[in-house]
Copies of this chain bind each other. A is one copy, B any other.
């Protein structure tokens, strides 16, 4: 049975929220888990959860509730890790220096077969470096990439690379297209994903050299997937594509700008409603409609981004992840294992 390892010490709200989310996932998805981190801290948290349950707000206000789960019935393994890699540390140096860190030991659990996939909410750089060095690349893959899922008008779309590689070649982006397409099919259930190059114009000749060369390479290989050409930023979320390919710099900027604009708009709306008594009333009524939108645009629904192209599964969660996001991240990890995503990537791109 698929077991998911979780770096219990990584993330802004570790260990409490991470462990709560892991326990929640173990219960809800009936999946064995392996909590990696300081043994005593984990035991202490589990004891607290056993006694008092934990509070989850399901990723949004107004849904806070205390959840009680009978931990004794769950399959929970604890693996001790003495060290923690902090957010500020240089990823490469940190994973070499801190061999006993929770992220390094977590990766080792996957490599040794103790678990089948890893969820990590700490330093993204450290999670990538530890996975890359620990699991190794799938033979044939030039560079692993981050496949991030973001909400759009209808279905979630995949942005790949979400930030693993700041500098890329067209050949790398071609592989990202294939991996993103498989991710979209296997995990998001999209039958024939539309793959586009994130670009600044729709014509083939638009954009920088990388975008232009990638367009040509994808066009040449369009028998392998549903290539729809270039996709511009203003249409990206309006049901024009299912997989958007870019280098990790542009991809990461795109993901973060998306988050920033949503934050800005909701702040402006809130501000307006709060500007008068009548506004507060309307705002209160409007809130029940906003609540229905929120789950559709809440990154926590997807739990995290998948690092694709390594010999193993690592789900990288947002540093701000709370229990609800971690629960979903464990689900994503489980699905990635059980749908055989890596096997399919190897079939398509492996050597």
User: How far is A167 from B209 in the complex, measured between Cα atoms in Å?
Assistant: 8
Residue of A234, A238, A260, A296 with most partner-chain B CB within 10 A: A260
SS class, residues of chain A in contact with chain B: helix
Comparing A19-27, A53-61, A133-141, A250-258, the segment that makes contact with chain B is A250-258
A181 on interface, CB distance cutoff 8 Å: no
| Segment at the B interface, from A221-229, A281-289, A328-336 | A281-289
* B289 pairs with A249, CB closer than 8 A: no
Choose one: B211, B238, B253, B273; the contact of A264 (CB below 8 Å).
B238
The answer to whether the Cβ of A235 comes within 8 Å of any Cβ in the partner chain is yes
Q: How far is the CB of A325 from chain B (nearest CB, A)?
A: 16
Chain B residues, CB < 8 A from A236: 256-257, 260
**Proximity string of chain A (54-73) to chain B, C-beta cutoff 8 Å, 1 when within and 0 when not:** 00000000000000000000
Q: What are the interface flags for A285-312 relative to B under an 8 Å C-beta threshold, 1 for contact and 0 otherwise? A: 1100110110011000000000000000
Interface presence of A192 (CB below 8 A): no
Q: How far is the CA of A258 from the CA of B166 in the complex (A)?
A: 21
- 17 pairs across A/B with beta carbons < 8 Å? A166-B200, A166-B207, A200-B253, A211-B249, A232-B256, A233-B259, A235-B260, A237-B260, A237-B263, A238-B260, A249-B250, A254-B257, A261-B265, A265-B265, A272-B289, A283-B289, A286-B286
- A interface residue numbers (CB < 8 A to B): 88, 90, 152-153, 163, 166-167, 198, 200, 203, 205, 207-209, 211, 232-238, 247-250, 252-265, 267-269, 272-273, 275, 279, 282-283, 285-286, 289-290, 292-293, 296-297
Given contacts A273-B289, A286-B286, 15 further A-B contacts (CB under 8 A): A153-B267, A163-B200, A232-B256, A235-B260, A236-B257, A261-B262, A265-B265, A265-B293, A265-B297, A268-B293, A269-B290, A272-B289, A272-B290, A279-B289, A283-B286
Most buried by B among A166, A247, A261, A267: A261
A152: B residues at CB distance < 8 A: 264
The answer to whether B256 and A233 have CB atoms under 8 Å apart is: yes
